[in-house]
Structure 1
Amino acid sequence: MPHTQTIFIAAALITRADGRALLVRKRGTSAFMQAGGKLEPAEAAADALCRELSEELGLIVDPSEPEHLGRFSAPAANEPGCTVVAEVFHLQIETPIQAAAEIEEITWVDPQEAVALPLAPLTRDHLLPLWISRSPTASTPRHHPAPDR
């Protein structure tokens, strides 16, 4: 059995009050996935996530704000023979964001639209089903209420 390298990442299931979730596509790749990235040595997952969100989307988040959803593992989308182990967090936002750093494209999608996109295995097999089960039509987010309008 071939040895696979494990890549430890932090990823964000970022949603809006309307139930749409953010997916990103890195430059030179085809798969859409959650924003996030690799942990630096001895870096806490929440700290890594906040660093990556700032670099990739210009989104400033306090490390105590995202809700930890769990640890998930899947084949890496862009690194053949590797497995990602992801600490996944939920964050609901209404602030504008834009693609930066290695992010080529961002899109806000609902579950029916997302399945038509080329998705990273982690997104397709774990996070999309989790997102659907937590959709605003099923329940209201616990930690990130929509702003008053």
Structure 2
Amino acid sequence: MRVITVSAICFERADGAVLTVRKRGTSAWMLPGGKPEPGETAAECAVREVREELGVEIALERIEPMGDFETRAANEAGFALRASVFRTRDAIEPRAQAEIEAVRWIVPAIGVEDEAEAPLNREHVFPLLLAELAAAER
């Protein structure tokens, strides 16, 4: 199986909601991000992609690694996905631009059950956020 490598940022609002985006011509909601350019680190790629896709300027030191995950690609049948995911709680005002058609904030407890969310979110990112929330409530 061929592999797509991407970097993404999990933007977390104070109320726990996470930003997801939908690219033009697709149905899956995913974290903002994309494929690296030659010589670009995963973090540099994530920062560049959110600037291009959402008009959001975020400094490298404002994101932290969340994890590296493998799953199936949301919009490319027959492809696996390898994603380096970063996170930040910085407040942002995203604007859908470039290939992004829509943006939405979704609470992980709802998103984990939403089949419109990409496998990366439903299988990895949202369960991790829910586990962190449960641990913090103990």
TM-score by length of 2: 0.90
Aligned pairs for 1:57-68 within 5 A: 57-68=54-65
What percent identity do the matched residue pairs reach?
41
Aligned pairs for 1:131-146 within 5 A: 131-135=129-133, 138=136
Aligned to 2:69: 72
TM-score by length of 1: 0.84
- C-alpha contact 1:26 1:105 (8 A) present in aligned 2: yes
- Structure (1 or 2) with the larger CA radius of gyration: 1
Q: Displacement of 1:113 after TM fit?
A: 2.9
Q: Displacement of 1:64 after TM fit?
A: 2.1
74, 90, 95: which is aligned to 1:93? 90
Q: Displacement of 1:107 after TM fit?
A: 0.6
| Cα distance in 2, alignment partners of residues 90 and 8 from structure 1 | 18
- C-alpha contact 1:15 1:21 (8 A) present in aligned 2: yes
Q: Displacement of 1:99 after TM fit?
A: 0.8
- Cα deviation 1:15-49 (Å, max 9, x = unaligned): 11111111111111111111100011221001000
- C-alpha contact 2:11 2:19 (8 A) present in aligned 1: yes
Task: State the one-letter code of the partner of 2:127.
Answer: P
| Cα distance in 1, alignment partners of residues 69 and 109 from structure 2 | 22
Aligned pairs for 1:106-117 within 5 A: 106-114=103-111, 115-117=113-115
- Cα deviation 1:98-143 (Å, max 9, x = unaligned): 111111111111123322351111111111111222349937xxxx
Aligned to 2:37: 40
| Cα distance in 2, alignment partners of residues 94 and 136 from structure 1 | 23
- C-alpha contact 2:4 2:80 (8 A) present in aligned 1: yes
